[in-house]
Each structure stands twice: as structure tokens, then as C-alpha cells.
Amino acid sequence: MEVYDAVVSRRTIRKFKQRNIPFRVLKQLVNAGRLAPSAANLQPLKFIVVTAAKVREKIFGCLRWAGYISPEWNPAKGQKPVAYIVIINNLEIAAQGHFERDSGAAAQNIILSAWEKDIGSCWLGAIDRKKISEILKIPAAYFVDTVIALGFKDEKPGAVKWGEDCRYYKGKDGELKIPKRAMKEILHRDKF
């Protein structure tokens, strides 16, 4: 899959098949995160891979899914993520004012690398950071930035033309529809 095709076809996945992702694949995803651009090349990130069923269940309790239509798109039992990658950011190392960009670049590298392997993911920022820190025994210097939920796709969300607003919704086919602003609205050339 070409990078551009991955970028264009990727959608957030919140329903997952219960098929495990081999640890070597998860390690490849972390490698994709590790090699992301980093402000001043400080590389303040660490990545915690969660696969153990008990820990997964605890992390699941710290996440909020698809806020606009909550709780409708909460993954049901039998469709929960089979793994997580938790991105944590050492704020004693990170470049001031840029730390969230490092995490964002790493997250997107992971998400696109997963998509290429047919693995869906959800970038989660609405998370209980304090609880996650406790569960995973994360040292105080680290900010729990992002949780990426992972698993093979069990839904087919699609991008649609921007209608009234940004809110995604359940389409007539039962799949999630995600409005995207049109090119003519966002593209400027040579001046605003």
C-alpha cells in the first residue's frame, strides 16, 4: 500500500475482531513511533504496549469513545481492542511548547503503519490519565499523552461530504460516517 493510499483510506476504527496481533507486529508499530520526527530531536517519548487481558480491561475502563454519539459507539463485549500502545512523554526532556507535536507525529506513524497491515486503530485523547498512570505504574515525570487502541477491523466507517457540522453519525447502512471539509474550503494558493 502506498503511503498516500493509507492516508486517504484510513478511518478511525472502534470495533475490533477478537484476533490477536502478534507481539512482533506491535513492536514494529512502536518502531514506527520511535522513528517519528521530534522537536530538537529530544525524543522524550516512551511506548507501553498492553496485551494482557486483565490490564487491557483496566485500560478500557479509562477510555471515552466517539463522544458525539456516546455511548452508541462504545466497543461492545466481543469487539473491544486486542492491544493498546500508550504514548507517554517525559516533560523533563521534551521541547517546551512542542511536546504534543512529538506525540502526535509518533501516533500517526503508528496508526498508518497499522493500517497498512489491515489493523485498525483509535487515537484516544479523552482518557483518565491519572488512572492509567496508576495502572501502568508510570513515573511522575511522564505525561500520559495518547492511548492508541488496536485490532483487526470489524466496521467500515467512511468519509462523507461536510454537511452541517463536524459531528460523525451512524449512516443508513449502520456504519459511521465522518464529515470531512471539502478541498475548496481549505486550500489557498499564494495568499489566504
Ligand X SMILES: Cc1cc2nc3c(=O)[nH]c(=O)nc-3n(C[C@H](O)[C@H](O)[C@H](O)COP(=O)(O)O)c2cc1C
- The answer to whether residue 179 forms part of the interface with ligand X (CB under 6 A) is no
Q: By CB under 6 A, is residue 66 in contact with ligand X?
A: yes
Q: Helix 23-34 crosses helix 99-116 at what angle (to 10 degrees)? A: 140
CA 33, CA 20: separation in Å to the nearest integer?
A: 20
Per-residue contact string for residues 73-112; x = within reach of ligand X by CB under 6 A: ----------------------------------------
Contacting ligand X (CB under 6 A), which of 33, 44, 81, 157? 157
Near ligand X in 3-32, by CB under 6 A: 11-12, 14
Q: How many residues bind ligand X (CB under 6 A)?
A: 14
In the chain, % helix, strand, coil (3-state, to 5) comes to 30, 25, 45
Per this entry, what is the length of the chain? 192
| 158 vs 144: CA distance, rounded Å | 29
* Nearest-approach distance from CB 142 to ligand X, in angstroms: 18
27, 64, 130, 181: residue in contact with ligand X (rule CB under 6 A):
64
